[in-house]
Amino acid sequence: KEHGETKTDIVTITNHILMQQQQHAGATGDLSIVINAVTASCKWISNCVRKAELMNVIGLTGGKNVQQESVQKLDILSNEIMINMLKSSGRTAVLVSEEDDQAIFVEDNQRGHYCLAFDPLDGSSNIDCGVSIGTIFGIYHVLDTERKGELKDILRSGKDMVAAGYCITLDPNIGEFLLTHPKMRIGKKKIYSVNEGNAHTFDPAVKSYVHSLKFPPPNFEGKFTPYSARYVGSMVSDVHRTLLYGGVFMYPGGKLRMLYECFPMALIIEAAGGKASNGRQRMLDLLPPSIHARSGIFLGNKEEVEKIEELYRKLD
Ligand code: AHM
Ligand code: MG
């Protein structure tokens, strides 16, 4: 295409999923239906976020969620959208949401074989200043299709997930999610992303690693090339940038939740050739002790995460 011409040979998420599905003999189409329900929810949520001010739904409800953080109305609306769309897909069994303290077990008449853990609107404390926020989700298949869904169907390590994703935005002109990077590989830029205001709580390994990025030894020409710092404070944005540009995203100390923040992002980063760890173990190997369990996380370029793991081995 000449510069400026409209590109029309696009692949929508629906096309992409159908094409993938056709490559798996015996696929029932159930996972496609689940992903379709997530896609539809994300379209609806992104529409609500855009219209938030008009709809007058921005503002604190005064309620607190399970982790005692302020809940905004858009979180609740997004949560209801996700839950209702997933239930009505008829393909889900157990749902875990950041906004609900208990797991939701889908009624017999709507039950299917997939379990989803999701944060319906992550980064929502950033809504008012227009920062990109979004939905994060991880999908598991039930362990046994002969019985009702149970907690153990979703309280599993990240490597058991069949798919994961996050959503930031869609093309508002055609109202579709488009395939932009067919074989996504993590970028190579030297960027670090962490809330350094928490530096006093960092483990010695993390302190030492961050220091080494800011004060690198001079190269052979005597030049210093420190890493750039970028931190939005919205996980979807920070991980999205890490995926596209490269570098390392860190949330040491364990604010982020394993099932619906750490695991899905870890799966995505690994699929793109990167690495995700809690500093001592591969993120996807960890077993969450409870549905809202938290973990420290380091994800990004392999060599960066390996440097952190090496420092943990040395300084632990
Ligand atoms: P939330 O689920 O309550 O929105 O919190 C998760 C968010 C992430 O998006 C982000 O990475 C992190 O919290 C930012 O935390 P902090 O403000 O402590 O840097
Ligand atoms: Mg959230």
Q: What is the pLDDT of residues 216-271, one digit of tens each?
A: 999 889 999 999 999 999 999 999 999 999 999 999 999 999 999 999 999 999 99
DSSP β-ladder status, 92-97 and 104-105: antiparallel
Using CB distances shorter than 6 Å, the residues near ligand 1 are 69, 98, 119, 122-125, 195, 233-235, 238, 251, 255
- Contact in structure between 62 and 71 (CB atoms under 8 Å): no
Ligand at minimal distance from the CA of 195 is 1
CA 315 to CA 312: how far, in whole Å?
5
The residue whose C-alpha atom lies closest to atom 11 belonging to ligand 1 is 235
Longest dimension (CA), the chain: 69
Which is the closest atom of ligand 1 to the Cα of 251? 11
Burial of 143 (0-12, 13-18, 19+ CB in 10 A): middle
How confident is residue 74, by pLDDT bands cut at 50, 70 and 90? confident
Closest by alpha carbon to 19, among 10, 11, 9, 30?
11
Which is the closest atom of ligand 1 to the Cα of 67? 3
The interface predicted TM-score (ipTM) is: 0.96
Q: How many residues does the chain have?
A: 316
Please give the angle made by the CA atoms of 72, 75 and 148, to the nearest 5 degrees. Answer: 140
How confident is residue 66, by pLDDT bands cut at 50, 70 and 90? low
Ligand at minimal distance from the CA of 64 is 1
Which is the closest atom of ligand 1 to the Cα of 249? 11
Percent of the chain at pLDDT exceeding 90: 74
- Contact in structure between 56 and 64 (CB atoms under 8 Å): no
Mean pLDDT of 157-167: 97
pTM across the whole model? 0.93
